[in-house]
Amino acid sequence: MSKKSFNAERTNEHSASVVLPEFARRQFLRTLAIGVPALAVGSAEANATVLDAKPGTGPAGGGAGTSGSPHISSSPVTVRPWEPEAVAESTAVFPRTVIAGDMRPTSFVVACYVADKAPKHLVVWRAGATPKTVEVAFESDVVPDADGFSKTKVDNLEAGTWYSYGLFDGEAESATLRSLIGRARTALAEGSLEPVTVGVSSCVGQGTVLPDYANPLNITPFHWPLLSKAAERDFDAFITLGDQGYMDLVYANGGTYEGYLAGWGAYHAGGYRDLFPRSGIYATWDDHEVTDSGTVVPWTSNPAERQKIDNAKRAYYRVQALEADDPEETPLWRTFRWGNTVEFIILDCRQERTADRMMSQAQLDFLLQRLEQSPCHFKCVVTSVPFARVNHLTSKEDRWEGYGAERDRVKAFINEKNIRKVLWVTGDIHMCYAGQMELPADDGSLAGQMWEICCTSGNTNPGWILLPDQQFVWKSGTPHVPFLTFDPHADSVKLVFVDDKGGAAFERTMILP
């Protein structure tokens, strides 16, 4: 397929002027030739500074942000006569979804884009005991940065509690317009053994081999029925495994910081507006948050490529609801405990890579430490690329198998320490499956029999048919969103793969080794 015809199909009337990444064209032609699609892998780097807010800063009733920087309110809960939903939503001022993320027992982070770049007022509340009242738990003046983005850490909350939140054009009772109203649940308190349900997505798109690329010349929001249906489910938190957006064209057409910020509008002003307001999220990245891994490797020394990677990383930290906002100071890998039920160990399996290593020694040590020291009944490892042996479905460099020493080290550690109840969730390879790390005949050890859940929520790969039935109890090339309920009382994890009609394509109650 020619560059011109590809652009005509996949972008818009301006696309003839857009430079298409060469690797994407090569991969698509290879797909037509052999029936295996281009796989999503490769470029984006991790680091960020923890939001350094001080309780009680700013005016009474909340902290005042400056240039998008966050502050914490120490205000007590107040009961007010107010109906936030009655305030008119403005998609002109707030075109993108609000995002809450990095939920801890007493805090979460709220990220938002404000088109007019004018100061706004963030309010966090629960429903009041009487009609038309709310219990306001937090409020803060928010000053967006020069590009219109704000990020605020909300603290002094109650554990395991649902809160609503939104941005308004003034003090609550006098506000005339607002953003979407989102909701988020704080993580469970230490010691709690309440069941926890999470949804998972990766590689969003329309269910084809060609991704939905953000076109830097004409940002048109994408919508996906699958994520809209997933948003109708009940869940405590949502995990995005990477390729939350496809920025290949942004990279190919200059890769500027401003270009990446704009590119996120194709996604956060589109289908994520249905999903992200439903719960808080935990996010990691894969390659397409920068560009396809076949275009540039994370360890490149080329100054122009390094600048583009840096721009993409900075933009990712700016738009996501992360507890950190500087990718040069704080890594993306981190951990979150929901009581003693489950610990989510979130990895960066892209941007700390070298030619010889999947990740830094510091991150590997962190992973092993959390696996051994977690007080939780379940340990859920969030990795953007598969740990399971999925021979020949993608290049080894784009999965843990390509870094055998580190993969073997993790397996040996789990066996040596007898670490049980470990579940891995992953994406990247454009297929869905539920299965174990190795064929039982090859490795019957504790580590070899760990479960891994893989999903694609958009792009497809016919190679799923090659997955061995003895290792994988279910597999599919159709996009799905898996939901996992961790129940320590039943000592089980219930898995449901949801399809684009909202139905359950596959269900299984797993007893983890």
Average pLDDT of the chain is: 87
- pTM here? 0.87
Q: Angle at CA 360, nearest 5°, toward 415 and 387?
A: 45
Is the CB of residue 113 less than 8 Å from the CB of residue 35?
Answer: no
Question: pLDDT digits over 391-436, tens only?
Answer: 766 667 789 999 999 999 999 999 999 999 999 999 999 999 999 9
Report d(CA 398, CA 65) in Å as an integer.
Answer: 40
Burial class of residue 51, CB neighbours in 10 A (0-12, 13-18, 19+): buried
In the structure, how many helices (H) and strands (E) does the chain have?
A: 10, 25
Question: pLDDT digits over 171-195, tens only?
Answer: 988 999 999 999 999 999 999 999 9
Residue 19 confidence class, pLDDT cut points 50, 70, 90 = low
Predicted local confidence at residue 21, as pLDDT: 52
Q: Which two tokens stand for residue 134?
A: 């709310």
Kindly list the structural domains of the chain, giving each domain's residue range(s) and its CATH number in brackets, ordered by start. Answer: 78-185 (2.60.40.10), 196-511 (3.60.21.70)
Beta strands in 294-449 (DSSP E): 334-338, 342-346, 378-382, 422-426, 432-436
Give the containing element (helix H, strand E) for 103: strand 99-104
Q: What is residue 51's DSSP assignment?
A: P
Predicted local confidence at residue 390, as pLDDT: 92
Predicted local confidence at residue 397, as pLDDT: 74
Q: What percent of the chain has pLDDT over 90?
A: 82
Predicted local confidence at residue 210, as pLDDT: 87
**Dihedral sign, Cα of residue 457, residue 461, residue 465, residue 468:** negative
Name the 3-class secondary structure at 472.
Answer: strand
CA distances from 43 to 296, 427, 474 (A): 7, 15, 29
Selection from 26-40, 65-79, 215-229 with the highest mean pLDDT: 215-229
